[in-house]
Chains A and B, each alone.
Chain A
């Protein structure tokens, strides 16, 4: 239970003032912290202690504006999940804790020209089983393709482009990925042998935990104009993919946490929590981490790209029609665990910043040069996965999100530990319950069904409504699952 100050400073905005000194009275916040939430969410947020972490982040050298937390905030490691922090690109620090272990964990949405009437329950079941067969998932899942070292280096440096050049997907796909699926700063020579070894057998696999692949139906349209531009309409069938950089990214984060832990002493940085380990962005340690982090980000884009290829193939196999004919284009691909160099306006001044998003999604509005031409008028699509059995959202980015360095929420946010969930529910019962709601699930195991039970999460609609109300991102469409492949 956290009992520090949360001053309401606007609709859906609660601030921890810079003068707050923490529980021990020695916290030195450089900027205030701001939590986006509704009144009803506050007790849960306080209970979870996550505001303490948002305040801790505000002590990072070079942090500008505010330390931010999205409404899906929950207790993480060092940084809260749902945290956003921007640091000065000259004098600030970069922190692996502000990115997370699953670097470039993200979401991709693929549309089709199928309508709900085109697929009966039996077809959905066939599709889910085919997806499960073609896309490796679960603990220790190994991809169907094993890369050699040279190929892996190419993946780390080229990202999704590597996949497209090697026959996984279409050239046009790249246009609809954040960063076009590649961070150019990536340099594979900064990635350890171990991370590469783990990556070789995992590119093109879903993994486990909260990662999933869903066949969804567009259930509701909130913004006709934006939906039309995104190519989405009511009762359309879409596919959502949620996964990241697998063991490769985890290893890169672990490797650099150790390096940056030492850098903290070297550069004489004082931190309230060891897991906030960081280094000046211009230091050797900071630059090395960023180059390696970009490699993991590229790995994740290649991973989701290969999965999209197999999703298209699975649809082709079951429905007997070409993916082109089925209109299986990518709507967009977002990352929600990443640090990027971006230009933002702080106190009326343009600044180059390292924006850390840990469990937060970029939400750029109309006119930003980073987003695809086709979406210039309405802003970038923002993809918010819900949890198994409920709903996911397609939102659009806004210029108001500039207040949060162009960021919004990332998902539902856990309210119960996985273990508690597992004890409370039996996976088979959950599968039956989903079946009754017309959702067919194919998990890698029954226990993951229990861990990922819908009731273990905050209500995603509540989270999305706060970001909509606060103007960080606006609702375009709601999707509900028809079939689920769980890792």
Chain B
């Protein structure tokens, strides 16, 4: 579950999951919902992403989302489904397809993921992430 949050010049995501992994998956879904304006993305291709967990969870989250942005930018792919496992490193799978303006519409071009007001909070219901993007 995620929702889009706003900031004068920018936009972000509040993502919730039962586990940290799920919250990471939801944050990624939210990010592509911003890029594609919430349109349906089919899982035609798969990409594997590995990121060392050498610092804290916040940096891991920024690295994860930045990696997806990188693939989006270089390969022109958009993703709609994710499968994340976090142990001593993050191993994630992203499922998506080529971005097509006709099919996916157009949301916003996200330049980067920021550390600004970044939050990963735990409560009884699970994990909530707040992250802002530079657009």
Contact = CB atoms under 8 A, between A and B. Distances in A.
B interface, size bucket: 35 or more
A98 to B, nearest CB: 14
Contacts of B62: 254, 258
A277 B135 CA distance: 20
Interface stretch (B16-24, B89-97, B114-122): B114-122
Nearest to A446: B106
A444 B106 contact: yes
A209 B10 CA distance: 11
A279 to B, nearest CB: 15
B107 A247 contact: no
Given A138-B106, A194-B70, A254 B76 contact: no
B85 interface: no
Contact of B8 (A48, A102, A139, A487): A48
Interface in B70-99: 70, 72-74, 76, 99
Contacts of B108: 139, 208-209, 418, 451
B109 A207 contact: yes
B126 interface: no
B73 A198 contact: yes
Nearest to A248: B73
B66 A254 contact: yes
Interface in A77-99: 77-78, 81
Interface in B27-69: 35, 37, 55, 59, 62-63, 66
Nearest to B70: A194
Interface in A218-268: 247, 250-251, 253-254, 257-258, 261-262
A265 to B, nearest CB: 10
Given A77-B134, A274-B118, A418-B11, A198 B74 contact: yes
B4 interface: yes
- Most chain B beta-carbon neighbours within 10 Å: one of A48, A140, A444, A451: A140
A101 B134 contact: yes
Given A75-B8, A81-B9, A208 B112 contact: no
Interface of A: 48, 74-78, 81, 100-102, 138-140, 142, 194, 197-198, 201, 207-209, 247, 250-251, 253-254, 257-258, 261-262, 273-275, 277, 414-420, 444-445, 447-448, 451, 487
Those 10 A-B pairs whose CB atoms lie nearest each other, nearest first? A208-B109, A445-B106, A417-B6, A77-B116, A101-B112, A247-B73, A250-B111, A414-B9, A275-B116, A101-B134
